[in-house]
Amino acid sequence: MNEHNLYHPVSIGSVTVSGNVFLAPLAGYTDVPFRSLCIESGADMTFTEMVSAEGLSREGEKTLELMTRAKNEKDYAIQLFMGNIDPVAKALACLIPYKPTFIDINCGCPVPKVTKTGAGSIMMKNPKLITDIVRLITDTTTIPVSVKFRTGWDANSENFIEFAQAALDGGASMLTLHARTRAQGYAPFAKWEKLTELKEYCLKHHQNVPVFGSGDLFTAQDAKRMLEETGIDGVMFARGAIGNPFIFEQAKALLTGKEMPGISLEKRVQTIIKHLDLMIDHYGEKSACTQMRKHTCSYLKGIPNTGAVKQAVVQATKRETYLSALEMLGAGC
Ligand SMILES: Cc1cc2nc3c(=O)[nH]c(=O)nc-3n(C[C@H](O)[C@H](O)[C@H](O)COP(=O)(O)O)c2cc1C
């Protein structure tokens, strides 16, 4: 494959998305402001943070808010998690008016608080359940369904092919494999060869189903390498996009044979300010300043002599104080 066709549109059931460089769902990060920035930087598809089907079925205010679409978000996917099929019908009734491009089911979360309810990665122990859930959604709506899962619960139970088939039996239109077991958590290294295996399986049995890859995508070069080495259809940036929404424009440049844009300190600081302002619009000033701490520290990660700025921003509760702290960087913004 030459590098010019590594970047391409993707058909997911009845819908076509303009490109194959996605922002992964990230609880605590992929809210409206962050998704908006990633779209501006070129993300072709964004996912909400994971939304509890149980919470939706009870029409919980906070749960409903997670499905808000950003102003510049033409396409987005809503990710649901559930430990059983009971809340799904009611959850769909709340979700359908939001008209997501597709619905994604979380079968990868390793957090005990989630798995002990039967949701997230523990669903991999029960492939029949994913068939039933996907079938219920595809029987109820015309919205395509995708499933995001791991290679298995642990090294002794890597059942991702069987699980993928179970999702497809229910009518799933797209698969995303995070190439680690639940037991691996987020530790290095993701096993990209499992992506090759899944893609080869789909090529044999389900040619129209796109396979996306997740795991250890920290640079634009990683995305290119994953696409080249595994033959999958698209990539999802996760931790690689935190404090680094620029990764989308860089990846798309690299994948289309253009020069990769560099990121100056000035651009970085301007993006922090833009991010802060989007957060203020969405959450109000005080909450925005508090929530921006983790983002700002990520934006400044690896940049020398930023200790004092980080210390100042973690105490800031007003936009003005935030901006004064950032001025210490001398980036001329
Ligand atoms: C803080 C954090 C939150 C995450 N939240 C979700 C989530 O809500 N839904 C999901 O499917 N995956 C979630 N993930 C997993 C990522 O989408 C991705 O699959 C994983 O981080 C592997 O990619 P990476 O190694 O490139 O970061 C999360 C990961 C992190 C680090």
Q: Kindly list the structural domains of the chain, giving each domain's residue range(s) and its CATH number in brackets, ordered by start.
A: 3-255 (3.20.20.70), 265-327 (1.10.1200)
Of 107, 109, 202, 289, which one is the catalytic site residue? 109
How far apart are alpha carbons 79 and 274 in whole angstroms?
26
25 lines ligand 1 (CB under 6 A): yes
The three-class DSSP label of residue 21 is strand
How large is the greatest C-alpha to C-alpha distance in the chain, in angstroms? 58
Whole-angstrom distance, CA of residue 285 vs CA of residue 288? 5
pLDDT at 330: 83
- Exposure string of 186-210, with b = 16+ CB inside 10 Å and e = fewer, is eeeebbbebbbbbbebbeeebeebb
Q: Residue-wise pLDDT tens for the chain (333 aa)?
A: 454 499 999 999 999 999 999 999 999 999 999 999 999 999 999 999 999 999 999 999 999 999 999 999 999 999 999 999 999 999 999 999 999 999 999 999 999 999 999 999 999 999 999 999 999 999 999 999 999 999 999 999 999 999 999 999 999 999 999 999 999 999 999 999 999 999 999 999 999 999 999 999 999 999 999 999 999 999 999 999 999 999 999 999 999 999 999 999 999 999 999 999 999 999 999 999 999 999 999 999 999 999 999 999 989 999 999 999 999 998 765
Report the distance separating Cα 21 and Cα 220, nearest Å. 10
Does the annotation count 333 as an active-site position? no
Atom 21 of ligand 1: nearest residue by CA position: 238
Integer Cα distance of 68 and 77 in angstroms: 11
CA–CA gap between residue 228 and residue 146 (Å, rounded): 23
Q: What is the pLDDT of residue 202?
A: 98
Residue 89 Cα to ligand 1 middle (Å): 26
Query: 148: Cβ below 6 Å to ligand 1?
Result: yes
CA-proximal residue: ligand 1, atom 29 (nearest): 26
Binding site membership of 69 for ligand 1 (Cβ less than 6 Å): no
Q: What is the pLDDT of residue 332?
A: 60
Q: How confident is the model at residue 1, as a pLDDT?
A: 45
Pocket flag, ligand 1, residue 50 (CB < 6 Å): yes
Pull the structure tokens for residue 188: 């290095």
Q: Is 79 helix (H, G, I), strand (E, B) or coil?
A: strand
Q: What is the pLDDT of residue 115?
A: 98
Please, where are the H alpha helices in the chain?
Answer: 32-40, 53-57, 61-65, 88-95, 112-115, 127-140, 160-170, 193-205, 220-230, 247-255, 265-283, 285-299, 307-313, 319-327
CA angle 124, 208, 23 (to 5 degrees): 60
Residue 178 Cα: closest atom of ligand 1: 19
CA torsion 9-13-15-18 (nearest 10°) is: -10
